[in-house]
Amino acid sequence: MVEKKDLDWGSLDFGYHQTDYSYEAHWKDGEWDEGGLTTDHDLHLSECAGIFHYCQEVFEGLKAYTTEEGSIVCFRPDMNASRMFDSAERLEMPGFPKDRFVEAVKEVVKANAAWVPPFGSGATLYVRPFMIGSGEVIGVAPAPEYTFRILVTPVGPYFKGGLKPIKLRVSEYDRAAPHGTGNIKAGLNYAMSLRPTMEAHRNGYAENIYLDPQSRTYIEETGGANVLFVKEDGTLVVPKSHTDSILPSITRRSLVQVAQDLGMTVDERYVTWEEVAGDEFVECGLCGTAAVISPVGQIDNKVNGADQEVVFPAGCTEIGPVMKQLRETLTGIQDGNLEDKHGWVCKIDVD
């Protein structure tokens, strides 16, 4: 068994801590090189690299865990490989081969096995694959060369306070243009959310919830997570995007399957803000790789003269029963404590 680093795992924040190895590969003249591990954690780029001028960048996020019996695993890396491939295609970037993506994740996690937090610590190893246009380009065009890289870092909880319900506000901004790039995982989508996010923080909110950019009628997602709702009868309601602007979250899709396995009714459909404001739901949560599920206790709408305050009665002071069951079931599968019926857990062999 690999000896873990001497860290205060329970006190880790959700921040960058440099580990031993990263992974890097390069695309040039129509093909990817063989790639491999590197101990150099700096990127060396021309000032004319395409990333700096035309934002050709896509990324992913997944985690590695230590199970109770000591194995190191990660969760559905094949889905991250597929989503990153699709994101790259949308931005006219060469897709990194899906099988190589999974193998690269395994290789870099194995090389940093000592940095995978121990079971029960509440921390995980965050795995961040990304690709940038690294070749020089001055006219508006795809870059001639690309760099694929994976960094890993041990992290604590994404939201301070763990599972304490957070408060959101409806944003006056739009997250993405109708039928634009909202359904891919690209840095440009997150750059536009920074100003609204900081404004939300300055006003006492953890995050923004965005309405559809076309009619501002339908629920989309937050700046960094998909949204889930629960009706009084226990139905899990999963918002669909009216303008194809929601990121296809791997965590969301996994939770939908978990809910169905548990016998819950799942309703994936368009959800209007008026339904939310009309107290149609008793629980709300945000889902994503970083937090798995973060319970939402309240959403305020102060946009365009509105003065609405929506409180979710079954989850306003602590995580609600449905969100709690979903979260515990999914994390139990990830940790190896519950049966992995669907083959989602990818074991990483460590010598």
pTM of the entire structure? 0.95
Mean pLDDT to the nearest integer, 308-314? 97
pLDDT band at 297 (very low <50, low <70, confident <90, very high): very high
Instruction: Categorize the per-residue pLDDT at 68 as very low, low, confident or very high, splitting at 50, 70 and 90.
Output: confident
Alpha helices, DSSP H only, in 204-315? 250-261, 273-277
Name the active-site residue from 63, 110, 167, 185. 185
Given this model, what pLDDT does residue 30 score? Answer: 97
User: According to the per-residue pLDDT averaged within each range, which of 5-9, 82-86, 119-123 is highest?
Assistant: 82-86
185 is catalytic: yes
Backbone φ and ψ for 328, nearest 5 degrees, come out as -65, -35
Residue 179, sorted as left (phi over 0), alpha (psi -120 to 50) or beta, turns out to be left
What are the pLDDT digits (tens) for 34-67?
999 999 999 999 999 999 999 999 999 999 999 9
pLDDT higher than 70, residue 262: yes
Give pLDDT, residue 335. 87
Which amino acid, one-letter code, is at 269? R
Burial of 138: CB neighbours in 10 Å, binned 0-12, 13-18, 19+: exposed
Residue 162 has a pLDDT of 62
- 182/51 Cα distance (integer angstroms): 19
Mean pLDDT of 332-337: 90
Q: For residue 228, is pLDDT > 90?
A: yes
86: pLDDT strictly greater than 80: yes
